[in-house]
Amino acid sequence: MDAIVTAGGIPEVDDPLYSFTQGNPKVLLELAGKPMIQWVLEALAAADGVERIAVIGLPVPLSIPFARPVFFLEGKGDLLANVRSAAGELFKGGPCPERVLLVSGDVPSIQAAMVDWII
């Protein structure tokens, strides 16, 4: 199964997280030495049931090697537009699967076994 990771949430000035993010996506906040999204991508890459991973909403791709194909897409402005865009990229040139896994990039406690259980 392919996975779409949403990574476009940027806290506003009145959000308590703003002082930590300074206008950057919250998925880039470090937790235990890594950006939150890295924990998510590592869990997805280690899951047996995940084939490809599309990350949408980061301003720049992460330059971290993963065990699965990971590609980064520019955000489209809102959650639904982002999911549609990422799904369109995943489905290019092939049959449209019945399901994709939609994952938020800010759940750093996710584990590969959890992903496989959901799939």
Q: Half-sphere exposure of residue 10, counting CA atoms within 13 Å on the CB side? A: 13
Question: How many other CB atoms are there within 10 angstroms of residue 87's CB atom?
Answer: 18
Q: For 77-98, what is each residue's pLDDT tens digit?
A: 888 999 999 999 888 867 777 8
Average pLDDT over residues 14-35: 87
Question: How many other CB atoms are there within 10 angstroms of residue 13's CB atom?
Answer: 7
Q: Which two tokens stand for residue 80?
A: 């639904």
Task: Provide the pLDDT confidence category of residue 105 given band limits of 50, 70 and 90.
Answer: very high
- To the question of pTM greater than 0.85 for the whole model, the response is yes
| Phi then psi dihedrals of residue 103, to 5 deg | -130, 135
Does the pLDDT of residue 106 top 80, yes or no?
yes
Who's near 15: CB < 8 A, 6+ residues apart?
Answer: none
Average pLDDT value for the chain: 89
C-beta separation of 96 from 8 below 8 A: no
Using a 10 angstrom Cβ sphere, with 0-12 exposed, 13-18 middle and 19 or more buried, the burial of residue 89 is middle
